[in-house]
Structure 1
Amino acid sequence: MSKPSSIFLCSSCGNEFPKWSGQCPACKNWNTLSELKLPNSPSPSSSTPLKSTTPSSALKTTAKSTLPSQIGELDRVLGPGLTQGGVYLLAGEPGIGKSTLLTQLTLALTSATQNTITYVCSEENAAQVATRINRLQKASHHPNRISLLETSNVEAILKHLNTHPSTTLIVDSIQSVASDTLSTTAGSMSQIRSASNLLIHFAKSTGTPTILVGHVTKSGQLAGPKLLEHMVDVVLQLEGDRHHDLRLLRGVKNRFGPTDETGLFQMTSSGLIEVKNPGSLFLSDQSATAPGSAKTLVMEGTRPLLVEIQALTVPTELAIPRRVAQGIPVPKLQLICAVLTKHLNLKLNSYDVFVNVTGGLRLTDPAADLSLALAIISSYKNLSLPINSLALGELGLLGEIRPIAYLDKRLKEAKNLGYQPLDPKINNLKKLSATLFSSSTKPQKPQASA
Structure 2
Amino acid sequence: MQNSAKEKMIVEPASMVKVCAEAEVVVVGGGPGGIGAAVAAARSGAKTILVERYGHLGGMATGGLVILIPHMSDGSRHQQIGGICQEWLDRLNTLGGAVGPKPEDLGSSDKALVAHWRRYFSAVVDGTVRLSVYVDPELLKCALNDLVTEAGVKLYLHSWGCRAIVENGCAKGVIFESKSGRQAILGQVLIDATGDGDLFASAGVEFDGTLDRSLRSSQLALVFRLGNVDFDKFADFKVREPEKSSALLQELSQLAGFRMSPHPTPRNDVMWVNDWLIGYDVLNVEDLTQVELTARTAMLRVLPFLQKNVPGFENGFVLDTASQIGTRGSRRLMGEYIITGQDLRTGPTHPDTIAIFPSITHNTSPEHPHVHVPYRAILPRKIEGFLAAGRSFSSDPVANNTFNLIPHCVALGQAAGTAAALAVKNHVQPRQVNIVALQDCLRAQGVPLP
TM-score bucket (shorter structure): under 0.3
TM-score, normalising length: structure 1:
0.22
Q: Which has the higher helix share?
A: 2
TM-score, normalising length: structure 2:
0.22
Of structures 1 and 2, the larger Rg is shown by 1
